[in-house]
């Protein structure tokens, strides 16, 4: 009887082990990490726009701001956020034809949801006004995944608890021979993780990526500019944005992080290949002043389940060779190298492999360009990368990606902090892969680190912790 009891106890303990101490470190040099708390990032009297951008997988409107969403009533209260009574709440859908042209599509669209909060911070007499903005781009790809891969994932549509927004395959698609049933774990990985999640990343790295990133931009523009849902949005001017200043915080998930960075870089024409820029020149020109101000007034990105290393593989040039040297994070022709920085460059000669498609480095270039153009030194940019090591679709930020730190030589200031968390209980030999990937914001460690910050690799004192 001892063996069954021991096994039973092990199972019970494994089911109740819901969290572990976060591992927090500086992604550039692996030293104990620091994260600035919200009270140091946000000034007293400036309103905040809090953007949520989801990543791969099937997401319905309300994934962040709905009753069961990331920022539900319980989670919002834990972060010091209180809904404003009678505050503006909106929910609109923008059809793909608004920003891409062509015919209207009943399934392909971007959804924008907004809700107002007041944020209470320690040692502050006045609450901070917060406008939470949820962008749902998932409808742009859900129908594609159902039509193209639905034959391979029957369990998705047979599941009575499936998300209500998931479309069935087009009934005109001819049936295929029914494959033998998969074992439970194989079915979850193949039909959910690959067919419904990883497929979004494949779509983005191909030609359809331009539709996805333009949809994200259209959603953000509609969220901040009163625009009819059936009309193409026009970005505010730099002068207009200065009249109503905001601080911006971004909570991005998996592919949504890369999409957000690409959107900024492409709208400001900062990509290395402007010929492939998905935004027409007219839109880039009108957006420039506003986006520059937006970048200057964005103190932090909170990334969850990161795929920068994976997506960077789509940027490997045809003539790449295994003997290629380490790429420098900042191009010497763009940034003069002081004696201090020269040592930094030398220390990085063997710091890692060539980095392909390093949007962090490009974002650092952009931050520096904005500072030079405006003549204003911002407070830098904090990037916090949350990862669950059992999340099958996350790749934490390695040092050769996260080398865009501030130096006395004046290089762009981006601080990248990696954080390992546990999002869901461990079931003996696995964590549920879907929960590990999507439940970051449900994790109290994640919320506490965003609100209260960290020092020397440890979470700072936080109310209720």
Whole-number Å distance between alpha carbons of 353 and 322:
9
Take residue 191 and report the two structure tokens written for it. Answer: 């039909």
Mention every residue, 6+ apart, whose C-beta is less than 8 A from residue 320.
354, 356
Question: 384 forms bridges with which residues in the sheet?
Answer: 302, 417
Q: What is the pLDDT of residue 190?
A: 93
- pLDDT value at residue 435: 85
Tens-digit pLDDT profile for residues 290-341: 999 999 899 999 999 999 989 988 888 899 888 876 544 433 333 344 443 4
Long-range contacts of 90-94 (CB under 8 A, 24+ apart): 90/114, 91/61, 92/222, 92/229, 93/61, 93/139, 93/229, 94/215, 94/218, 94/219, 94/222, 94/229
Contact 271, 261 (CB under 8 A): no
Among the listed residues 70, 303, 58, the one whose alpha carbon sits nearest the alpha carbon of residue 197: 58
| pLDDT tens-digit map of 18-53 | 557 999 999 988 999 999 999 999 987 899 999 999
C-alpha to C-alpha distance for 298 and 301, rounded to whole angstroms: 8
pLDDT at 19: 59
Does residue 371 contact residue 296 with C-beta atoms inside 8 Å? yes
CA angle 226, 232, 238 (to 5 degrees): 60
**In the structure encoding, which two tokens stand for residue 213, read together?**
């990133």
Please state whether 430 falls in left (phi above 0), alpha (psi between -120 and 50) or beta.
Answer: beta
Strand partners, 360: none
- Kindly report the pTM of this predicted structure: 0.88
Q: Rounded CA gap, 272 and 72, in Å?
A: 40
> Over the chain, what HEC string results?
CHHHHHHHHHHHHHHHCCCCCCEEEECCCCCECCECCHHHHCCCCCCEEEEEECCCCCCCCCCCCCCCCCCCHHHHHHCCEEECCCCCCEEEEEEHHHHHCCCCCCCCEEEEEEEEEEECCCCCCCCEEEEEEEEECCHHHHHHHHHHHHHHCHHHHHCCCCCCCCCCCCCCCCCCCCCCCCCHHHHHHHHHHHHHHHHHHHHHHCCCHHHHHHHHHHHHHHHHCCCCCCCCCCCCCHHHHHHCCCEEEEEEECHHHHHHHHHHHHHCCCCCCHHHCCCCHHHHHHHHHHHHHHHHCCCEEEEECCCHHHHHHHHCCCCCCCCCCCCCCCCCCCCCCCHHHHHHHHHCCCCCCCCCCCHHHHHHHHHHHHHHHHCCCCCCEEEEEEECCCCCCCCCCCCCCCCCCCCCCCCCCEEEEEEECCCCCEECCEECHHHHHHCCCCCHHHHHHHHHCEECCEECCCCCC
154: which residues sit within 8 A by CB, 6+ positions away? 178, 191
* Long-range CB contacts (within 8 A, 24+) of 191-194: 191/152, 191/153, 191/154, 191/155, 191/156, 192/153, 192/155, 192/156, 192/433, 192/434, 193/392, 193/393, 193/433, 193/434, 193/437
pLDDT in tens, 413-428: 678 999 999 998 887 7
Cα torsion 139, 143, 144, 146 to 10°: value is 130
Is residue 22 within 8 Å of 465, Cβ to Cβ? Answer: no
Q: Say what the pLDDT of residue 464 is.
A: 66
Tens-digit pLDDT profile for the chain (465 aa)?
A: 444 444 344 444 444 455 579 999 999 889 999 999 999 999 878 999 999 999 999 999 999 999 999 999 999 999 999 999 876 678 999 999 999 999 999 999 999 999 999 999 888 888 999 999 999 999 999 999 999 999 999 999 998 888 999 999 999 999 999 889 999 889 989 999 999 999 999 999 999 999 999 999 999 999 999 999 999 999 998 888 777 789 999 999 999 999 999 999 999 987 655 568 999 999 999 999 999 999 989 999 999 999 998 998 888 889 988 887 654 443 333 334 444 344 444 444 445 788 888 888 888 878 878 877 777 776 778 999 999 999 989 999 988 887 744 444 544 467 899 999 999 888 777 777 778 888 999 999 999 999 999 999 999 988 766
Tokens of 107: 């399934």
């Amino acid at each position: 009887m001892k063996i069954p009891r021991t096994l039973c106890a092990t199972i019970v303990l494994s089911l109740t082990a819901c969290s572990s101490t976060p591992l927090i470190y500086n992604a550039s040099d692996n030293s104990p990490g620091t994260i600035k708390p919200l009270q140091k990032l946000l000034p007293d009297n400036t309103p905040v726009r809090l953007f949520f951008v989801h990543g791969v997988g099937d997401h319905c409107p309300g994934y962040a701001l709905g009753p069961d969403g990331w920022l539900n009533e319980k989670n919002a209260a834990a972060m010091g956020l209180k809904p404003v009574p009678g505050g503006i709440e909106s929910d609109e859908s923008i059809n793909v034809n608004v920003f891409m042209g062509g015919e209207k599509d009943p399934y392909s669209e971007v959804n924008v949801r907004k809700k107002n909060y007041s944020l209470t911070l320690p040692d502050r007499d006045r609450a901070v006004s917060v406008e939470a903005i949820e962008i749902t781009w998932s409808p742009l790809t859900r129908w594609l995944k159902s039509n193209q891969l639905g034959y391979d994932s029957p369990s998705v549509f047979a599941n009575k608890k499936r998300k209500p927004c998931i479309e069935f395959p087009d009934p005109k698609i001819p049936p295929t021979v029914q494959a033998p049933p998969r074992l439970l774990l194989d079915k979850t990985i193949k039909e959910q993780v690959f067919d419904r999640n990883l497929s979004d990343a494949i779509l983005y790295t191909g030609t359809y990526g331009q539709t996805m990133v333009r949809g994200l931009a259209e959603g953000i523009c509609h969220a901040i500019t009163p625009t009819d849902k059936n009309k193409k949005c026009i970005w505010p001017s730099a002068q207009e944005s200065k009249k109503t200043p905001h601080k911006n915080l971004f909570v991005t998930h998996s592919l949504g992080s890369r999409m957000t960075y690409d959107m900024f870089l492409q709208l400001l024409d900062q990509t290395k290949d402007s010929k492939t820029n998905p935004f027409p020149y007219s839109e880039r020109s009108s957006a420039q002043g506003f986006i520059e101000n937006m970048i200057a007034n964005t103190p932090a990105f909170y990334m969850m389940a990161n795929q920068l290393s994976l997506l960077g593989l789509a940027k490997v040039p045809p003539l790449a060779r295994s003997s290629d040297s380490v790429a420098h994070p900042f191009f010497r022709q763009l940034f003069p190298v002081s004696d201090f920085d020269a040592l930094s460059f030398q220390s990085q000669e063997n710091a890692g492999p060539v980095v392909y498609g390093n949007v962090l480095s490009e974002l650092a270039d952009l931050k520096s360009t904005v500072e030079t153009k405006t003549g204003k030194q911002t407070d830098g940019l904090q990037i916090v990368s949350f990862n669950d090591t059992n999340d099958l679709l996350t790749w934490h930020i390695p040092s050769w990606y996260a080398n865009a730190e501030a130096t006395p030589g004046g290089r762009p200031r981006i601080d990248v902090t990696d954080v390992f968390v546990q999002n869901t209980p461990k079931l003996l030999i696995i964590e549920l892969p879907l929960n590990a990937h999507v439940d970051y914001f449900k994790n109290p460690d994640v919320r506490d680190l965003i609100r209260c910050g960290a020092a020397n690799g440890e979470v700072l004192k936080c109310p209720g912790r």
